[in-house]
A and B are shown apart, each in its own frame.
Chain A
Amino acid sequence: MWGDWHQLWQIVSVPDNVPIVALLFLVPFYTWYGFREAFKHDRLIAQLETDPAMAKTHHRKPYPFKTGWERELHVWPYLMRIEFLAAVILTVLLMVWSITLNAPLEEPANPNLTMNPSKAPWYFLGLQEMLVYFDPWIAGVVMPTLIIIGLMAIPYIDANPLGNGYYTYKQRKFSIWTFLIGFLALWCVMIVIGTFIRGPGWMWFWPTQTWDHNRLDFAVNRNLHEIFGIENRWVAMGFGATVVGLFFVVSGYLMHRLCMVTEFSRKIYQRMTLLQIITLHTLLILMLSLPAKMAARLLFRIKYVLVTPWFNI
């Protein structure tokens, strides 16, 4: 049944979902806020690039400055008062939130009564949503590890020296796009899907579509080699491995092309060491494997690409 606004309100107003509703506003707001500053800097950069004389004398910030002004402020009181104010506002916010909304408490834990849907805490819903597309060892173990390693690798594979300590979009298009796709599209959107769209049996229910606890999913997911009619297990394994290998090669090449799109990005590419290039490409390919597998599952109903007796991909 469609148009079930009551249920949508019920989901939205679950106390534990309030942070996600907050996230829905806060993340776009701060993204916009960051980009506003970035464009401000980009305009200044463009101006300075066309006017070398100005570049020599300008203080190089889009903020007002006149000669003779102090370059530095005393932390006491100019920073302390901001921190104090922030602490007060945050405390008031937390107090009001805590007075108006009670923390959830369900029935006592009962291993014999499964919650349906049983959901992880909201910040891990992205990983739980990934379980639809990958086996638990990838979605629950390998991917989180890769996210952590990938994040920690960022400073060491980003060879672009520009944009250090100021907002800019123009000078860092590639890294900003990569990060925002990862953070917004692959992390936050997955959380939103996990919260608002997944219903009983982790089935897809559009917002305002009533959760039907008796609904059965009749879709048949096939493995890739079955589509091609390969029956021999070893041939299928070889075929699957080839496809996975092809994915790596093709997407690796696409990533390479992407790194060579502009003259600036070619310049940055020149500065990278072989180790940096290999790490960057491996991480990008692995990141791309999530939307690739999602598309394979959602569009072509493919369950596994590679089936082996020990693990499936």
Chain B
Amino acid sequence: MPEENDKGAGKPTGLLGTVKETVKGDLAGLKGVLVEKGKEELAALKEPEKTQLFRSIFRVKRDETPRSRALSVLTNVFFHLHPAKINRDAVRYSYTWGMGGMSFYLFLVLTITGVLLMFYYHPTKGQAYRDILYLHHDVPFGQLLRNMHRWGAHLMIIAVWLHMLRVFLTGSYKRPREFNWCVGVILMVLTLLLSFTGYLLPDDQLGFWAVTVGTNMARATPLLGHEGPFGAQLGMTAFNDVRFALLGGSIVDANALLRAYIWHCIAIPLIASVFMGVHFWRVRKDGGISGPAPVMLESEMKEEKKGPRPVILRPSGTR
């Protein structure tokens, strides 16, 4: 910038005048352009879905054409578990009871509240109980957090059972969904185990005796428990049997607490997530949710077809 170099040379008025003129000119130019741009962009904000930011995230126009509706499901990672279209009767609450979705939603709630609880919890004897007291009395919303985790877990068990009842009553386990029913049974067992391992973590009398009662059954495992049939004959003692492996000791103590913690917070949620992935994926590949399907009459019963079946099925209700 030459003006700057001339600063000391002694033409302050002239220089100042030049600068003033230049700045004034620029400002006048900017005023018109900037205000115009600003107005334009404010107007554009009324349609946020046309901004670059919005489009970079959602990519799909938001209108009510069938194409956009289908794409809003298909191009969204969270929604793409769903098909774009479903049987018109499949949204009936009287058919689905919504229990599968609710179980999954509760799993998510439990994951979030569980992670938050983990910030305040040490899986060590003595400290664990104090951490719960700390949650109750000092942590902001700590008691609410623990309550939500507890009641959410109970609700999830009920939801999973009712989901199973619904799937049974609608005969949805039948061909071609046999395998997904099995995955569901495993998920139900994992849900119960998740709840059971969490029971010990407060390290209070309730959890301690519940887990003592529960794991005492493992003593009696045939062959693998020291009080079970043929256990003693196979050399099982209280210090090498299956109960010892579960508890990391012969009584419910520090090791059992740590093991319950790791099963509860890491291992079982991971295993359950894998099975959930399979479960949801199979729902789609087996042709979407099972119905409400058209009723079949006894006179239309055919001989069971042997041999291969279609690998991927069309959603029920489509032609």
* Interface-facing stretch out of A30-38, A253-261, A287-295: A30-38
Contact yes or no, A164 B175, CB < 8 A: yes
Shortest Cβ gap from A160 to chain B (Å): 8
Q: Which of B158, B166, B185 contacts A148 (CB 8 A)?
A: B185
For chain A, residues 96 to 123, give those with C-beta under 8 angstroms from any C-beta of chain B.
97-99, 101-111, 113-115, 118-123
Shortest Cβ gap from A105 to chain B (Å): 5
Shortest Cβ gap from B221 to chain A (Å): 5
* Interface-facing stretch out of B30-38, B140-148, B260-268, B273-281: B140-148
Q: Is B12 an interface residue (CB 8 A)?
A: no
For chain B, residues 89 to 116, give those with C-beta under 8 angstroms from any C-beta of chain A.
89-95, 97-98, 101-102, 105-106, 109
Contact yes or no, B298 A155, CB < 8 A: no
How far is A114 from B299 in the complex, measured between Cα atoms in Å?
Answer: 62
Q: Is A166 an interface residue (CB 8 A)?
A: yes
How far is A256 from B196 in the complex, measured between Cα atoms in Å?
Answer: 38
Interface size class of B (residues with CB under 8 A): 35 or more
Contact yes or no, A103 B205, CB < 8 A: no
Question: 9 tightest CB-CB pairs across the interface, nearest first?
Answer: A140-B217, A165-B293, A165-B291, A60-B294, A155-B178, A109-B208, A311-B229, A136-B220, A98-B147
Interface size class of A (residues with CB under 8 A): 35 or more
Contact yes or no, B85 A72, CB < 8 A: yes
User: What are 13 residue pairs bridging A and B, where the CB atoms are less than 8 Å apart in the complex?
Assistant: A19-B154, A37-B95, A49-B297, A69-B88, A73-B88, A94-B109, A94-B151, A121-B196, A141-B218, A161-B296, A163-B174, A165-B316, A271-B304
Q: Which of B101, B168, B252 contacts A111 (CB 8 A)?
A: B252
| Beta-carbon nearest neighbor of A158 in chain B | B174
Shortest Cβ gap from A155 to chain B (Å): 3
How far is A142 from B221 in the complex, measured between Cα atoms in Å?
Answer: 8
Contact yes or no, A74 B70, CB < 8 A: yes
Q: Which of B83, B157, B209 contacts A123 (CB 8 A)?
A: B157
Q: Is B79 an interface residue (CB 8 A)?
A: yes
Shortest Cβ gap from A280 to chain B (Å): 15
Please list the residues of chain A having a beta carbon within 8 angstroms of any beta carbon in chain B: 16, 18-19, 22-23, 26-27, 30-31, 33-34, 36-38, 41, 44-45, 48-49, 55, 59-61, 63, 69-80, 82-83, 86-87, 90-91, 93-95, 97-99, 101-111, 113-115, 118-124, 127-128, 131, 135-137, 139-142, 148, 151-152, 154-156, 158-159, 161-168, 171-172, 176, 179, 183, 264, 267, 271, 310-311
